[in-house]
Amino acid sequence: MDTFPSVGGGHCAHRPGGHHVGRPRHTVYARPAYTQGHVNMTCAPIDSPPVGGSPIQLRSTAFEDIARRDWDALLAVTARPSPFSRWTFHRAWWDAYGEMAEPRYLVGRRRGDDRVMAILPLMTRSHLEGTAGALTASTQRTVFMAASYHADYATLLCDPSDLHDVADAVARTLRDDPVDAWDAIDLRRLRCDDPALEALASAFRRAAPGWHVSLGREDVCPVVTLPTSGDWEDYLATLDKKARHEIRRKLRRAEAAGPVEFRGLPLDASAVESFIGLHQARWGDQGLFPPTPDGERSRRFLHRLTALEAAEGAAAQLRLGEVSVAGRVLASVVTFDDDGTCYFYNAGMDPAARELSPGVTGTAALIRDRMSAGRTRFDFLRGDEPYKYEWGAKDEPIGRLLVTRA
């Protein structure tokens, strides 16, 4: 038990979530499975009564043309928001990865009303099918949730009272696309308890009865429920006896070398480079930041996200930090924090400090710090790596909605 997340909780070749205490993480979607049989149908359905003609009109809009005030107002009332649906996250993603996909944000307004009622962040990505150079090769175009390669959660931004009308408008808009606009709609990263997931699935079934609409589970996010007392011993008491013993043993060994401390870092370029340095020390060319175009995009994304979040001041949700023993930095972490939940997005650690168990020591120091700040949830983000359950995490499923024409 000494693992540490890597970037982006679950996405990509290296990350936190596809991340992992210690493994790099950013998700690169493989070619979509366009058959219902490839989807694990385990999400519990949510009641979604049919609605009549939608009074909402949608327009495809460039991200740059969406007013920040409209985005923030909708995020504030959305049923299942997360830091990955913040304007800052999407802005940083397009600045770093804009050439990787085509943006298609559907912005909804009621007829006769200029007020923005909904935003569904989408993007289209093309995949080459078949053997290179083969006569049978063809390009498949798939619609995904925007920025979801590096996000662990995604959702539809709207007031819950408008959700069914908005979902209806989304399904009709995509149904009426030209045939060559897309080959599949593959919406991932929606929590299974997000009412938007079932609302969209039901809307597609109503709008196009002959299409294949599959709703299932994509992944899980293991989440720890922390005691409201904020007491470390109260938390340890909730763990399996063996896990509790291992955590205490490794912490005692680290503490014997000197004080174990977690320190929040300023949201600046120096802190980002410190994280990248430890991440690469652990993962090298298998990490997120190798000397390649992909590595440069990952670096640009994290720097840009940090700068944008720094500009948010007290409203920032991105957190950078480091864990040290006797002044020696063992681990560096990237998290998000919404005042109730700490989202463990990625980490790097010093491979030369193995005797101090940087994975366990770093995770323990981070959890203790967040408990002292009053947090009651610690989200390891996507991926069912065994180490997450040793910290008492329980699975919270992530859904996937796959739509193809008949």
Beta strands in 1-146 (DSSP E): 56-61, 102-110, 116-129, 138-145
The alpha carbons of the chain give a radius of gyration, in whole angstroms, of 22
Give the per-residue pLDDT at 105: 98
Give the per-residue pLDDT at 265: 98
Give the per-residue pLDDT at 406: 81
**Alpha carbons 310 and 266: distance in angstroms, whole number:** 8
- Amino acid (one-letter) located at 222: P
Contacts of residue 352, defined as CB under 8 A and 6 or more positions apart, other chains included, come to: none
Residue ranges covered by each domain of the chain: 36-219+398-404, 227-375
By C-alpha distance, which of 310, 327, 350 is closest to 263? 327
> Under CATH, which number does the domain 36-219+398-404 receive?
3.40.630
CA 354 to the chain's CA centroid: 29
Give the per-residue pLDDT at 50: 36
Give the per-residue pLDDT at 12: 33
Distances, alpha carbon 104 to alpha carbons 65, 208, 300, 313, 348, in Å: 11, 21, 22, 29, 34
**Residue 78 parent element (H or E):** none
- Indicate the pairing of strand 377-379 with strand 341-349: parallel
Give the per-residue pLDDT at 55: 82
pTM for the model stands at 0.88
**Alpha carbons 317 and 297: distance in angstroms, whole number:** 22
What average pLDDT values come out for the chain (406 residues) when binned by 10 residues? Answer: 45 35 49 37 39 73 96 98 98 96 96 94 81 49 95 98 96 94 96 98 96 96 97 97 97 97 98 96 92 96 98 98 97 97 96 95 98 98 97 98 94
**Residue 204 parent element (H or E):** helix 195-207
Fold classified for 227-375: Aminopeptidase (3.40.630)
DSSP string, 359-383: HHHHHHHHHHHHHHTT--EEE--S-
Residues facing residue 403 across a β-bridge: 185, 213
Q: How many CB atoms lie within 10 A of CB 396?
A: 14
Residue 131 DSSP symbol: S
Give the per-residue pLDDT at 160: 97
Give the per-residue pLDDT at 3: 55
